[in-house]
Amino acid sequence: MTKFGPGPTTEAVDDYLKAILELSGEAQNRVTSNALAAHLGVRAASVTGMLQKLAGLPEPFVAYEKHRGVRLSPAGRRRALEVIRHHRLLERFLHDVLDYSWDEVHEEAERLEHYISERLEDRIAARLGNPGVDPHGHPIPGKNGAIATRTEVELAAWPCDVPASVSSVCDRDPAALREMKRLGLVPGASILIEPGSRNGSVLVSIGGQAAARLSPELAAGVLVSSDRQ
């Protein structure tokens, strides 16, 4: 259990706050209970109960209205960003220092993110040289909660014959990460989508190599941005 803001938080609370932050996007839109339930793999009734609890704290973590969804309060957003900072620093540490592969670090960081102290967080960040991104290309929030914003597009939505770079990849599927690594589909890799999409698949040249055909599921986990950014 971690002490923060208006009271102690649990792993479940942290997971809800992270999920709301992720689903709300940069615009901090309201998130529906059904979307949260699907994201977290829990029943809608459980989501409603948790949101009511988070909204009823002396300093609420969320603003919640039935049938209108939920958004994070300033306290909830601070906590969500703190846990995300822990998670992504841990991924970087596990990958760069302890030689974990990039398909292993997410699960380990999920277990540890709730419990590290601020002192350990600071020492990990210093040991790594205060990195800006985790191994999958996701920005690491600063100590003050600031987080870089970028213009990213799903790979399948990028136009053909326009050079781009891999910006970040989804870290939730170890098998998909292993396949991306095999193909060289890693943050910073140059890509060029070629004509010839078939059944939702994407034909893409990676690092100037012969084109590879990506399944719709694999392509959906890759975000790209302009080489000119």
pLDDT at 148 (0 to 100): 85
Q: Are residues 65 and 174 in the same domain?
A: no
Q: What is the pLDDT of residues 119-171, one digit of tens each?
A: 999 999 999 999 999 999 999 999 998 888 888 999 999 999 999 999 999 99
Q: What is the pLDDT of residues 2-47, one digit of tens each?
A: 434 444 568 899 999 999 999 998 778 899 999 999 999 999 889 9
> Letter for the amino acid at 161?
D
- Residues 97 and 112: their CA atoms lie apart, in Å, by 16
Query: Average pLDDT, stretch 180-185?
Result: 95
The 3-state secondary structure of 152-192 reads CEEHHHCCCCCCEEEEEECCCCHHHHHHHHHHCCCCCCEEE
Q: Are residues 44 and 60 in the same domain?
A: yes
pLDDT at 60 (0 to 100): 94
Q: Where does the pLDDT of residue 227 fall: very low under 50, low under 70, confident under 90, or very high at 90 and above?
A: low
Closest CA to 46 of 13, 21, 84: 13
Closest CA to 20 of 40, 4, 2: 40
Query: End-to-end CA distance of the chain, in Å?
Result: 41
Tokens 């609420």 locate to 60
Q: Are residues 22 and 80 in the same domain?
A: yes
pLDDT at 222 (0 to 100): 96
Are the C-beta atoms of 138 and 85 separated by less than 8 Å? no
Q: Are residues 54 and 78 in the same domain?
A: yes
Q: What is the pLDDT of residues 131-140, one digit of tens each?
A: 999 999 999 9
Query: Average pLDDT, stretch 77-99?
Result: 96
pLDDT at 13 (0 to 100): 92
Domain boundary residue, one of 148, 167, 199: 148
Domain boundary residue, one of 115, 148, 181: 148
Q: Are residues 111 and 3 in the same domain?
A: yes
Domain count for the chain: 2
Q: Are residues 134 and 163 in the same domain?
A: no
CATH number for the domain spanning 81: value is 1.10.10.10
Q: Where does the pLDDT of residue 228 fall: very low under 50, low under 70, confident under 90, or very high at 90 and above?
A: low
pLDDT at 199 (0 to 100): 77
Q: Which domain holds residue 219?
A: 153-226
- Residues 169 and 175: their CA atoms lie apart, in Å, by 13
Are the C-beta atoms of 165 and 189 separated by less than 8 Å? yes
| Paired residues of 212 in beta bridges | 204
Q: Are residues 105 and 207 in the same domain?
A: no
- Residues 27 and 44: their CA atoms lie apart, in Å, by 24
Domain boundary residue, one of 110, 127, 148: 148
Q: What is the pLDDT of residues 184-214, one digit of tens each?
A: 999 999 999 998 777 789 999 999 888 899 9
CATH number for the domain spanning 210: value is 2.30.30.90
Q: Where does the pLDDT of residue 220 fall: very low under 50, low under 70, confident under 90, or very high at 90 and above?
A: very high
Q: Are residues 77 and 126 in the same domain?
A: yes
Does residue 179 surpass a pLDDT of 90? Answer: yes
Q: Are residues 22 and 102 in the same domain?
A: yes
Q: Are residues 139 and 171 in the same domain?
A: no
pLDDT at 130 (0 to 100): 95
Tokens 């670090």 locate to 105
- Residues 119 and 125: their CA atoms lie apart, in Å, by 10
Closest CA to 164 of 130, 138, 190, 132: 190
Query: Average pLDDT, stretch 216-226?
Result: 94
Strands 190-194 and 7-9, bridge-based pairing: unpaired
Q: Are residues 139 and 166 in the same domain?
A: no
**Tokens encoding 81:** 């960003």
Q: Where does the pLDDT of residue 109 fall: very low under 50, low under 70, confident under 90, or very high at 90 and above?
A: very high
CA-based radius of gyration for the chain = 19
Q: Are residues 106 and 157 in the same domain?
A: no
